[in-house]
Amino acid sequence: MTDKPLYPLRFTPMFQYRLWGGRALGDFMDTKLPGDEPIGEAWILSDRDDFSSQIANGSLAGQTLGDLMKARKTDILGDHAKRFERFPLLLKFLDVEKMLSVQVHPRDDQTNLIPKGDTGKTEAWIVLSATRDARIYAGLNPGTTPKDLASLDAKNADTHLPSFKPEVGQAVMIEAGTVHSLGDGVIVFEVQENSDTTFRLFDWDHVDAKTGKPRELQVDKALKAIDFDQGPVKPLPSSDDPRQDLLENSHFHLVRWQQSDAFTVGAPADPRVLVCAHGAGKVVVGDIKVSMKQGDVVLLPASLGAAQFTPNEPVTLFEIAIPEAA
């Protein structure tokens, strides 16, 4: 694997059972979902020990992102190689048919709350579809106290947690320390730090059909992780511009392309991740062409530099970069 030339790498999604999920990701990604149970998450790019994305195309098909990071980290990450042992982002599609638990993630500096080898978790959502009843909760209403959140239930949730009706195209930043939930019929793309650390405050009285029991809460840890100075979180401004810098923080920078004509993606010595949210097209590097359809993800290794994306039809494409160190 160390001497095979790199190219735009497409990955096979990993589907995850979640009691709050549905079956809509099959239609969205034009694929057959496993079994008949609710699927809440499709992990489309992951470098974790328990779930490492598998390359689906080309001469490296069958290898995992974890394998590639161990063998060719500099080729993958370029100028970021000295900063990370694992690929630093985790990307997902979420189908939240019921309500996600009211939860919070710790900051990177809250090491007493984070399992060894993991990080904090700042994330963001981009709304891909939403029903009339869909809802996003993010942040806290003024005056909310730890005591209020320690006794959170379905009757008082709207008293303490601000919410809004999601609309297609909206982006929502969920900084670490932000109380959040979403559901009742919404599909989102999620970009986040490569972490799986979550503390639940309240689970909407869900019972897991697999166990016949409610899921465990972590109220004490959640209260330590919450930023109580944060008020309501609103969706970020959006537009129909052909190119929009939609999300930017110290962990990820996301550009949304809405184009019918060819455009340039990627940059020298810098990895980029491409996610097709609507339409179809091809990633072109020299004489290599890699097709993408709605729901696909492609990693451009840093060693490739820039590439061209050629739409087959009007396309919405997310291009995600890793920012420079502060």
User: Which tens digits make up the pLDDT trace of 149-197?
Assistant: 999 999 999 999 999 999 999 999 999 999 999 999 999 999 999 999 9
Q: Identity (one letter) of the amino acid at 86?
A: R
Give the model's pLDDT for residue 316: 98
What CA–CA distance (Å, rounded) separates 190 from 321?
A: 14
Nearest Cα to Cα of residue 302 among 3, 6, 4, 22 = 6
pLDDT band with cut points at 50, 70 and 90 for residue 30: very high
Contact 315, 280 (CB under 8 A): yes
Alpha carbon distances (Å) from 135 to 13, 138, 217: 26, 10, 22
pLDDT at 216 over 80: yes
Q: 2 CB contacts (<8 Å, ≥6 apart)?
A: 71, 72
pLDDT at 1 over 70: no
The rounded mean pLDDT for the chain is: 97
pTM for the complete prediction? 0.97
pLDDT at 4 over 90: no
243-321 placed in CATH 3.40.50.720 = no
* Backbone angles phi and psi of 33, in degrees to 5: -80, 150
pLDDT band with cut points at 50, 70 and 90 for residue 238: confident
What CA–CA distance (Å, rounded) separates 52 from 214?
A: 28
pLDDT band with cut points at 50, 70 and 90 for residue 272: very high
Contact 236, 171 (CB under 8 A): yes
pLDDT at 228 over 80: yes
pLDDT at 223 over 90: yes
> pLDDT (tens digit, 9 = 90+) per residue, 123-152?
999 999 999 999 999 999 999 999 999 999
Residues of the chain with CATH 2.60.120.10: 9-225, 243-321
Average pLDDT of 219-235?
97
Q: Which CATH class is domain 9-225?
A: mainly beta
CB atoms inside a 10 Å sphere around CB 172: 23
**% pLDDT > 90, the chain:** 97
Give the model's pLDDT for residue 32: 97
Give the model's pLDDT for residue 62: 97
pLDDT band with cut points at 50, 70 and 90 for residue 2: low
What CA–CA distance (Å, rounded) separates 16 from 44?
A: 11
pLDDT at 121 over 70: yes
Range with lowest mean pLDDT among 1-5, 100-104, 176-180: 1-5
Contact 76, 302 (CB under 8 A): yes
pLDDT at 215 over 80: yes
Give the model's pLDDT for residue 114: 97
* Backbone angles phi and psi of 144, in degrees to 5: -65, 135
pLDDT at 122 over 70: yes
pLDDT band with cut points at 50, 70 and 90 for residue 3: confident
